[in-house]
Structure 1
Amino acid sequence: MEGVLDHSLRDVLTRIQGVDVCVTEFIRVTDQLLPESVFRRLAPELGAGSQTPSGTPVLVQLLGNDPVAMGENAVRAVEMGAPGIDLNFGCPAKTVNKSRGGAILLKDPEEVHDIVAGVRRALPDQVPLSAKMRLGFQDKSLALENAQAMEAAGAMRLTVHARTKVEGYKPPAHWEWIDRIREAVKVPVVANGDIWTVDDYHRCREVSGCDDVMIGRGLIANPFLAQAVREGSEGLAAVETWPRICELLLAYHLMVLDRLETKHVAGRAKQWLRMMQRHYPQAETLFMTIRTERDPHRVTEYLQQAVEISAIDINR
């Protein structure tokens, strides 16, 4: 999730137990070997055992269409400490697809095969290589062929977002298609798409037949979702977890304040609050409070107040 799930948010979200592994934002590869500084900027966990501060492993994801350059950059990431490489064939962004990256490559299973094969050849055999795909670009007619091409080229695991590029993020996610892909390949398949609740998680596993599930937007909307899944419960009510959310939001904002230009800082907290409105009604109130505020230090004050007020409310 480019521009959203960066290393700061990975740090904050994995402070809550339940996440087994994270994947970085995609690192865009053209036809050149990227400098180490690019990897350190997008995946600073590489300098800390390739895991978040709480100990969750972090895989490096690459996006591009040049098999040789993709392979060279995969090797660089592994040499810097990445425990595995993931390839992005799912990004639906127009700017990415226009430069032949992400989901547009699903129009040509042979090209998909060549890219995966190029990376597999470059990497040591023991390094895990996985790939993420959608069901297709305009339709689902090549879904099975693309998955089989990735497997044949050496992908050891596939994560499938259960929609095409054209379908974007519009519900529903077609989990039944993940089951078809799972039956068509021998490597493990991970289900992804429209998992917002514990009930969604169980229904997705039942329909897709997958043991493992990847959660993106659902975890941002409810940071306690993975923990609830792990514990086999419906999770705590929003009113019970809101004080902890306020603490995490403040911590996230301060991390962003420390590394981004001032003009870009306030937007990150607002972005996260907007996504949490799906689960937390309190998030809408706080969002409206800071909606027009551009001064990041004033945002800090508002978030500190939210921490204090939520702690008082929960102790009443």
Structure 2
Amino acid sequence: MRIILAPMEGVVDYTLRELLTGVGGVDQCVTEFIRVSDRLLPRAVFHRLAPELNQQGFTRAGTLVLLQLLGSDPQVVAENAALAVELGAPGIDLNFGCPAKTVNKSRGGAVLLDEPELVGDIVAAVRRAVPAHIPVSAKMRLGFRDKSRALENAWAIESAGAQSLVVHARTKEEGYRPPAHWEWIARIREAVNLPVIANGEVWTLEDYHRCREVSGCDDVMIGRGLVANPFLALEIKGDELGRDAAWAEVLWLLERFHRQVMQDLSPRHVHGRLKQWLQMLGWHFPQAKRLFPELRTEREPERLLELLCRARQQYLRDMSAADPAFELRSAPVALPA
């Protein structure tokens, strides 16, 4: 039973992978996709999007990170996969699921599911290009416009030599609208012999158990559910925090996240990253919805940090006054300076 943190373009970057795996409960990660078009990418691109390459392919918490590639030219994708492995990638994942229009227009992501033969050719080329001990996996949706080729794509991926397959239980046209069709994952799992990992619409412990029951999968990949509730993987594994204690921990995480983003991005982009995550936390924590208006109009990074620190200190004072025994369970894993 593994919990895998999903790749989310523009959201789950290196910093968030560090924080979420530091919380605990996550067994594996996949990077944001690295877009491959018509050439071998510079090494700096791999290191920028997957700094875990400098840590033998692990986060600082010891969680394995696979490197994801997205492209439509089998040979070029294979050449970049070989370079990624040379740089230290412990495994290669191939993206056949991205629903973004800009990506699909350039023949990347979910649009390739209309061409199962090409999907198989890409997987096969990568499998040939990397050493046998390096796992090659793929992530797909149920289709582009409909589900008519879902099994055909799964068979193509299996026959090309992939070691595992993640299935997001919606088509590109369905986007992220509920429900996720976990019963289709069960059909795919029964049709292939390689391990299948379920993905889509897992927000709670109850969702997780229902997803496993319907799909028949042992392993589950979670994206938005873990970003909205960083403690979901721990809850799944039986280590549940109370909602009040969890929010106190989240305030620590937000502060650490913001400090790291201040180091990594130009000042004019910092506020957007913080507010993006805070809004997503609002899907689970009502406290995040109340905090957001206090930060919404502020753009100065140092001022935002001051507001975060003040919010954390005030929340701890309030909780301690209500319950003298209240305390944080731990500080999150430290990020690099």
TM-score normalised over the length of structure 1: 0.98
Q: Describe the superposition over 1:25-77 as per-residue Cα deviations: whole angstroms up to 9, x where unpaired.
A: 00000111111100010000100121111111111000001111111111111
Q: 1:227 maps to which residue?
A: 234
Cα-to-partner distance string for 1:188-221 (whole Å, 9 max, x where unaligned): 0000000000000000000000000000000000
- Cα distance between partner residues in 2 of 1:272 and 1:253: 10
Q: How does 1:22-61 map to 2 (within 5 A)?
A: 22-61=29-68
What is the DSSP-based 3-state SS (H/G/I as helix, E as strand, rest coil) of the residue aligned with 2:137? strand
2:261 matched to which residue of 1?
A: 256
- The amino acid across from 2:263 in the alignment is D
Q: CA deviation at 1:282?
A: 0.5
Alignment of 1:120-269 (within 5 A): 120-231=127-238, 235-269=240-274
What is the letter of the counterpart of residue 230 of structure 1?
K
1:299 aligns to 2:304 (yes or no)? yes
Q: Please say if 1:115 is aligned against 2:122.
A: yes
1:63 matched to 2:70:
yes
Partner of 1:77: 84
Give the equivalent residue in structure 1 for 2:96: 89
CA distance in 2, matches of 1:82, 1:68: 18
1:294 shift after superposition: 0.9
Unmatched 5+ stretches in structure 1: none
Choose the corresponding residue for 1:15, options 17, 22, 26: 22
Q: Contact between 1:290 and 1:302, CA under 8 Å: does it hold in 2?
A: yes
For 1:278, the equivalent position in structure 2 comes to 283
Q: Which residue of 2 aligns with 1:104?
A: 111
Shift of residue 84, structure 1, vs aligned partner: 0.4
CA distance in 1, matches of 2:171, 2:64: 29
Deviation string, structure 1 residues 126-170 (Cα, Å, up to 9, x no partner):
110000000000000000000000000111100000000000000
Post-superposition offset of 1:314: 2.6
SS in 2 for 1:190: strand
Contact 1:246/1:307 (<8 A) preserved: yes
**Conserved? CA contact 1:242–1:310, under 8 Å:** no
Tell me the alpha carbon deviations over residues 248-280 of structure 1, each in whole angstroms, 9 at most, x when there is no partner.
011001111101111110011111111111110
Greater CA drift, 292-301 or 168-177? 292-301
Secondary structure, counterpart of 1:150 in structure 2: helix
Superimposed CA distance per residue, residues 278-313 of structure 1 (whole angstroms, 9 cap, x where no aligned partner): 110000111111111111111111111122122222
Q: 2:259 is matched by which residue type in structure 1?
A: L
Question: Is contact 1:243-1:310 (8 Å) kept?
Answer: yes
Larger mean Cα displacement after TM superposition, 19-28 or 44-53 = 44-53
The question of whether the paired residues in 2 share the 8 Å contact of 1:238 and 1:279 is answered with no
C-alpha distance in 1, partners of 2:81/2:243? Answer: 41
Query: What SS does the aligned partner of 2:31 have?
Result: strand
Amino acid at match of 1:277: G
Distance 1:277 1:237 in 2: 16
Could you tell me how far 1:80 is from its partner in structure 2? 1.0
**TM-score, normalisation: structure 2:** 0.92
Question: For 1:76, what is the secondary structure of its paired residue?
Answer: helix
Instruction: Decide whether the 8 Å contact of 1:30 with 1:66 is kept in 2.
Output: yes
Percent identity between the two aligned chains? 63
Which ranges in structure 2 are unaligned for 5 or more consecutive residues? 1-7, 322-337
Distance 1:204 1:2 in 2: 23
2:273, 2:252 → 1: CA distance?
15
Query: Which SS does the other structure have where 2:119 is aligned?
Result: helix
**Alpha-carbon distance between aligned partners in 1 of 2:221 and 2:319, rounded to the nearest angstrom:** 32
State the one-letter code of the partner of 1:291: R
Aligned-residue Cα RMSD (Å) equals 0.8
